[in-house]
Amino acid sequence: MMDGALDEEVSLVGLTEDMGVNAVLFGFVGLYALTFPGRVRACYLVGSHATSEAVGESDLDLTLVFKDTFLPGEEARFERFRMAVGPLARYPLDLNAVEEARLVAEGEVNLKQNALLIAGEDVRDRVPLMPLEAWTRHCMHQPYRFIERARARAEDAPLRFPLEYPDARGELYGYDYREVMDAQGQLHRGFKELVTLACRMATAAVALDAGRHTFSKRDAIQAHREHVHDTWTPLYESIFASRQQWGYRVPDDAAARAKLREACARMLDAENAFLARYRDFLLAEVTRGRVEDRVLAARRLGDIAYPGEDVSRALQRLVEAPEPSEPVDLALREAARESLARLARHRGDRASSAA
């Protein structure tokens, strides 16, 4: 079936220890083979289900490796497929697609070191480990996504540094803003985003400070203690231990919730400490490396309103650089100009709010 023969029997190359998960995987393989006949080289299960560390509310993280490069319109079709398939599964699905050529050219970490081949041809022998510089860049950008989506704000408004709690009046300060779904499809108050953010920040610190790759949540927490061991190590360990005790559901027991609340109370300081380092990282990124990396850094500097003039001056230097001779140089200048304009539009927001 992987080669487009739709009448061929669907089979799984790899199995988990959970028969319910295997049933979902079997159905998923059949669906993507029908939707993308002959186009998927391999399907991998990554994350906690692949490493037998899943808890009751863990996602099924699946990556499809498309042969060679995407065909015209194929990425958009995969996005529609992803949106349609998710509600059909008994478990929350986190689906991703990647080009085979990109994996071979740029390398990977989790897929290469900590994945289970579900169907198709195993390509990991041809995929190098992602170079440390690229891995560090990837890791430094990841926590922002979780920090940003926890905080409601006006459309187009950047985050304000230093941060405030997602919900200062909430029992868990707003870190339980996203519910989790169990295998029966029931939603529960959850703190999965808190665990993921703590592990992402630990991963970034290990990459930046210790120059090491990490391959799972558990590996990131252990490596942080072994190779970084700073102020935030006990907090990250406490949050990860909460996952081991209660899964991703907020516990019913009052004493257990009080313990979780203590960790949530400290998380704001950890986020602000990370964002302070992230500012320095971004200011360096806009001056070095590939243009696409510099463009991302310039855009991200417009996503977070830092106090002082360092960010504005750095962006202004990009805008005022000699007239670009290449389209890629123009992209960097435009990204800097857009970030400056965004920050200027919202410069008075905090003062107005305080008034």
- Condensed to tens digits (0 to 9), the pLDDT of residues 219-256 reads 999 999 999 999 999 999 999 999 999 999 999 999 99
The CA angle 292-296-302, to the nearest 5 degrees, is 150
**Structure confidence by residue, pLDDT tens digits, 101-150:** 999 999 999 999 999 999 999 999 999 999 999 999 999 999 999 999 99
Q: Specify the DSSP class assigned to residue 305.
A: E
Q: Are strands 180-181 and 304-305 parallel, antiparallel or unpaired?
A: unpaired
Tell me: cis bond preceding 162? Omega within 30 of 0 counts: yes
Helix, strand or coil, per DSSP, at residue 161? coil
Q: What percent of the chain has pLDDT over 90?
A: 79
User: Which domains, from first to last, does the chain contain?
Assistant: 19-126 (3.30.460.10)
Q: Is the pLDDT reported for residue 354 higher than 60?
A: no
d(CA 178, CA 146): 11
d(CA 242, CA 267): 14
More confident residue, 185 or 101: 101
Q: Residue 93 — φ and ψ, nearest 5°?
A: -105, 135
Partners of 119 in the β-ladder: 43
Tell me the average pLDDT across 158-181: 96
CA torsion through residues 25, 118, 76, 179, sign: positive
Contacts of 11 (CB under 8 A, 6+ apart): 119
Q: H helices within 286-348, ranges in order?
A: 291-301, 310-319, 327-345
**pLDDT given at position 9:** 65
**pLDDT given at position 3:** 45
Burial class from Cβ neighbours inside 10 Å (0-12, 13-18, 19+) for residue 18 reads: middle
d(CA 6, CA 23): 19
Q: Is the pLDDT reported for residue 352 higher than 80?
A: no
Q: How confident is the model at residue 4 (pLDDT cuts 50, 70, 90)?
A: very low
Residue among 138, 113, 93, 135 nearest 51 (CA): 113
Q: Is the pLDDT reported for residue 8 higher than 60?
A: no
What is the identity of the amino acid at 262? E
**pLDDT given at position 355:** 39
Provide the mean pLDDT of the chain: 92
**pLDDT given at position 317:** 94
Contact 119, 29 (CB under 8 A): yes
Q: How confident is the model at residue 324 (pLDDT cuts 50, 70, 90)?
A: low
Q: How confident is the model at residue 87 (pLDDT cuts 50, 70, 90)?
A: confident
Q: Is the pLDDT reported for residue 88 higher than 60?
A: yes
Q: Are strands 304-305 and 159-160 parallel, antiparallel or unpaired?
A: parallel
**pLDDT given at position 327:** 58
Contact 332, 299 (CB under 8 A): no
d(CA 219, CA 213): 9
**pLDDT given at position 70:** 98
Per mean pLDDT, which range of 29-43, 116-130, 239-253, 317-331 is the poorest?
Answer: 317-331
Q: How confident is the model at residue 353 (pLDDT cuts 50, 70, 90)?
A: very low
Contact 141, 129 (CB under 8 A): no
**pLDDT given at position 326:** 59
Residue corresponding to tokens 């993507």:
32
Q: Is the pLDDT reported for residue 44 higher than 60?
A: yes
Burial class from Cβ neighbours inside 10 Å (0-12, 13-18, 19+) for residue 208 reads: middle
CA torsion through residues 105, 109, 112, 115, sign: negative
Contact 65, 43 (CB under 8 A): yes
Contacts of 177 (CB under 8 A, 6+ apart): 150, 166, 167, 193
d(CA 92, CA 77): 20
Tokens for 121, please give them.
């041809």
